[in-house]
Amino acid sequence: MKILVVLIALALSGCTSLKTINEGMVPVGQSPNVQNSPIPEMLSAVPPIDGPKITIAVYSFQDKTGQRKPADNIANLSSAVTQGGEVWVIKALQDVGNSTWFEVVERVGMDNLIKERQLIRNTRDVYEKDLENGPTPLKPMLFAGLILEGGIVGYDSNNVVGGVGARYLGIGATTEYRVDTVTVVMRLVSVSTGRVLMSIATEKTIASTRTGTDVFKFLDLGTKLVESEAGYSINEPVNYAVRAAIEAGVVELVYEGERKELWKFRR
| Domain contains 125 | no
- 96: exposed, middle or buried (Cβ count in 10 Å: 0-12, 13-18, 19+): buried
pTM over 0.75: yes
| Domain contains 164 | yes
Closest CA to 176 of 146, 213, 151: 213
pLDDT of res. 220: 74
For all residues of the chain together, what is the average pLDDT?
A: 85
| Domain contains 227 | yes
Give the CATH number for residue 206.
Answer: 3.40.50.10610
Domain that holds residue 158: 2-16+40-107+144-259
pLDDT of res. 151: 93
The total domain count for the chain is 1
Chain-centroid distance of CA 45 in Å reads: 21
pLDDT digits (tens, 9 = 90+) for 28-53: 677 888 888 889 999 999 999 999 99
pLDDT of res. 12: 44
pLDDT digits (tens, 9 = 90+) for 160-202: 888 989 988 888 999 998 898 999 999 999 999 999 999 999 9
Asked if residue 153 has pLDDT above 80, the reply is yes
3-class secondary-structure state, position 114: helix
**Backbone phi, psi, residue 193, to 5°:** -115, -20
Per the model's pLDDT, the better-predicted residue between 77 and 219 turns out to be 219
Q: How many CB atoms lie within 10 A of CB 16?
A: 6
Instruction: Give the pLDDT band (50/70/90) at residue 71.
Output: low
pLDDT of res. 3: 45
Q: How many CB atoms lie within 10 A of CB 161?
A: 11
